[in-house]
Structure 1
Amino acid sequence: MRDTYKNLRYRLMETEEWPLEYMFKFITPNNGGKVEQIKAILPDHGKISFKHTSNLKHVAITCVAVMEDADQIIEVTEKVGRIEEVIIL
């Protein structure tokens, strides 16, 4: 695990009730198939919504899904974080 996600892991480990409903949020340029790449990584059972900027250059992607443990959340976040120009919120 990269140091980038240590704080997230720490906060998640403080949670005592698993599974829990978690909200993933990302912002990505609306080009190069990045939206499709992110969708492919997100949990199949999650509810995904999109909000485009007024000029359609960027897309905010939100996914709410029930996750079994912190490792699942970190795994998804790390994979999405490898896509260039994606901002993790």
Structure 2
Amino acid sequence: IFMSDKKDFYLKLKGQLDETTSFPADYLYKFIVPTDGNQVKEVEELFNNTGAIIKTKKSKTGKYVSVSIVLKVLNSGIVISYYKKAEKIKGIISL
């Protein structure tokens, strides 16, 4: 994805969140990561010491792990900041 596309995506997401969510709120992040490295640990470390509830589930083939995180957030900017941190993790897919 090109940087301008990402910027547009985050602007659109922020607008949607501000319209539909009354903050503070519990926000559900869902990621899929390959199992060939430390990616699950990297995702978990992003949310260390935040009080987040993290659940993982391996795919049938065992090549991927889905990671679901529920985190209480104060505003849409915080939601997006975690997505931006997560996108640096190799092979991650945000759902």
Same fold (TM over 0.5): yes
Overall identity of the aligned pairs, in %: 27
Aligned match for 1:27, one of 32, 36, 40: 32
CA shift for structure 1 position 58: 0.2
Q: Which residue of 2 aligns with 1:63?
A: 69
CA shift for structure 1 position 39: 0.7
Q: Give the unaligned 5+ runs of structure 2.
A: 1-5
Q: Which residue of 2 aligns with 1:6?
A: 11
Q: 3-state DSSP class of the match of 1:26?
A: strand
- Give TM-score, length-normalised by structure 2: 0.84
Letter of the structure 1 residue corresponding to residue 15 of structure 2: Y
- Give TM-score, length-normalised by structure 1: 0.89
Q: Which residue of 2 aligns with 1:76?
A: 82
* Cα distance, 1:16–1:52 mapped onto 2, change above 3 Å: closer
Q: Give the unaligned 5+ runs of structure 1.
A: none
* Cα distance, 1:16–1:76 mapped onto 2, change above 3 Å: closer
Q: Which residue of 2 aligns with 1:51?
A: 57
Q: 3-state DSSP class of the match of 2:23?
A: coil
* Cα distance, 1:16–1:64 mapped onto 2, change above 3 Å: closer
Matches of 2:86 and 2:26, distance apart in 1: 19
CA shift for structure 1 position 42: 2.1
Equivalent residue pairs, number = 89
Q: 3-state DSSP class of the match of 2:14?
A: helix
* Cα distance, 1:16–1:56 mapped onto 2, change above 3 Å: closer
Letter of the structure 2 residue corresponding to residue 7 of structure 1: K
